[in-house]
Amino acid sequence: MSTEPDVREQTAREALHAVRDSLRDLIDDPDTPSTVRHALETEYTDLEALWQKLDSDELHVAVFGRVSVGKSSLLNALLADDAFATGPLHGVTTHADAHAWVRVGDSPVRVFDTPGIDEIDGETREQLARHVARRSDLVLFVCESDLTQLEQQALATLASTHRPLLLVLNKADRYTRGEREALLESLRRKAEGLVRPDHVLAAAADPRPEVVVRVTESGDEEEFERPRSPDIAALEQRIVDILQREGRVLAALNAGLFASEVSDAVAARVADIRRAAAKRVIRGYCLGKGLAVAVNPVPLTDLAAAAALDVSLVFHLSRIYGLPITRHEAGKLVAVISVQLAALMGAVWAVHAVSSLLKTVSAGLSVTVTALAQGSVAWYATYLIGEAATRYFVNGRSWGPGGPKRAVRDVLDLVDRDSILSEARRALAERLRGR
């Protein structure tokens, strides 16, 4: 008969495999540009490590805390081996390191040592906390007395990553039983809402030797030191319990959460890259069309003659956004946008543009003011068409609920006409002068 834990185990395992496969898909996604991979290098390294962790069925336990609180000593005590370097100087551990520990169920457990958090600035500390948490199924936050402000902040950052947390008061041998209880009480209070009260416990990873007084045969009292073994049994039991109870489920959940964070970050970067590419392409067409019109002035009302360039622009933009359309469709899109622009601005905008140009264009240019004015207006029109089409593609080839009218109006509201026109004037004048 299958028992409930079996079913849980089975479900967890399936969830884990599903997450593992989706991590692989995310890592190997051929649509992710290499520039994005490069920009998110740390995240991709973490994804790969996470994938390996899931694939090997490993569970990870990490320590975190201020320098010299005994993080490395604690892991050594768990391993019953001096695997990690320890010492009284601050900053003995300078980089993350890991060793294999016990097995919990079928899963090998690895423990991860980390450098102390005091010497680094707040932002880096936050990053380190997230980085550590990301790879861990359980984090041991180690302290040696009551929590400082800095420790409280770091603990809050870790807690926000929703990993199981144990708050360990190490060096318990330095306190009397009463002091220890009072400290644990205070730690539970300060960690309230961040760490469960029964997840706050004391340990002595590397207790100082006991000083014992012995009466010699001659009746004299003699002091000598008796080494003490680590006191970590309760902690060890709690760690194994947690890993056994929720290790696998949490591993899947956490990896899934991280993968969705990364895939959001990838999407945001891709959007940035597309936006930058769209901006470059729009500017190129603006310049091309502005020059064509300036060099060979056409009546302002007959800008349609140069519409072929606008069609090319929209065609090009559709490719940048990975939503390719035909030239015919691009032509229809330009027509829709132009109709809206004309309806919204009529002839007024052109007159506006020209008059503002006439006022500000400086004398002494080698081209006629009219040519520049017409070129700038053409530039501006192409700019608006490019921006409106971009909005349509960003929206997944849709104008959104308000239709093209609303979308084009929004574009007009957002665009700073005067700065576009003055940029057009500057760029066109420069090119025309150079001819």
- Considering only residues 208 to 247 of the shown chain, the ones binding ligand GTP according to CB under 6 A are 208
State whether the Cα torsion 343-279-303-293 is positive or negative.
positive
Structure tokens at 22: 């989706």
Binding residue (CB under 6 A) for ligand GTP from 32, 73, 136, 376: 73
For residue 91, the partner it binds in ligand GTP, Mg ion, none, with Cβ less than 5 to 8 A by kind, is ligand GTP
Q: Where are the alpha helices (DSSP H) in 107-199?
A: 122-135, 149-159, 177-190
For residue 375, the partner it binds in ligand GTP, Mg ion, none, with Cβ less than 5 to 8 A by kind, is none
Q: CB atoms < 10 A from the CB of 83, how many?
A: 17
As separate numbers, helices (DSSP H) first and strands (DSSP E) second, the chain gives 14, 8
DSSP string covering 311-370: HHHHHHHHHHTT----HHHHHHHHHHHHHHHHHHHTTHHHHHHHHHHHHHPPTT-SS-HH
CB of 110 to ligand GTP, least distance (A): 17
- The yes or no reply on residue 202 touching ligand GTP (CB under 6 A) is no
199's CB contacts (< 8 A; 6+ apart) are 164, 165, 166, 167, 238
- The yes or no reply on residue 173 touching ligand GTP (CB under 6 A) is yes
173 three-state secondary structure: helix
Q: CA–CA separation, 313 vs 278, rounded Å?
A: 9
Given the rule CB under 5 A, which of 64-72, 131-139, 289-297, 403-411 is the region that contacts Mg ion? 64-72
Size of site (CB under 6 A) for ligand GTP:
25
- The yes or no reply on residue 151 touching ligand GTP (CB under 6 A) is no
Q: E strands within 1-127? A: 59-65, 97-104, 107-113
Structure tokens at 232: 């970590």
Given the rule CB under 6 A, which of 204-212, 345-353, 397-405, 421-429 is the region that contacts ligand GTP? 204-212
Binding residue (CB under 5 A) for Mg ion from 32, 76, 93, 157: 93
- The yes or no reply on residue 201 touching ligand GTP (CB under 6 A) is no
CA distances to 38, 94, 301, 320, 393 from 309, rounded to whole Å, are: 34, 59, 16, 17, 18
Q: Which is nearer to Mg ion, 112 or 349 (CB)?
A: 112
- The yes or no reply on residue 141 touching ligand GTP (CB under 6 A) is no
174 three-state secondary structure: helix
- The yes or no reply on residue 77 touching Mg ion (CB under 5 A) is no
Backbone phi, psi, residue 275, to 5°: -60, -45
- The yes or no reply on residue 88 touching ligand GTP (CB under 6 A) is yes
- The yes or no reply on residue 73 touching Mg ion (CB under 5 A) is no
Q: Which is nearer to Mg ion, 9 or 97 (CB)?
A: 97
For residue 32, the partner it binds in ligand GTP, Mg ion, none, with Cβ less than 5 to 8 A by kind, is none
Directed axis angle between helix 307-320 and helix 369-394, to 10°? 30
106-122 core/surface letters (b: 16 or more CB in 10 A; e: else): ebebbbbbbbbbbeeee
Given the rule CB under 6 A, which of 101-109, 171-179, 317-325, 343-351 is the region that contacts ligand GTP? 171-179
CB of 242 to ligand GTP, least distance (A): 21
Q: Which is nearer to Mg ion, 57 or 118 (CB)?
A: 118
- The yes or no reply on residue 157 touching ligand GTP (CB under 6 A) is no
Given the rule CB under 6 A, which of 14-22, 64-72, 133-141, 321-329 is the region that contacts ligand GTP? 64-72
CB of 113 to Mg ion, least distance (A): 6
Binding site for Mg ion (CB under 5 A): 71-72, 92-93
Binding site for ligand GTP (CB under 6 A): 67-73, 86-88, 90-93, 115-116, 170-171, 173-174, 204-208
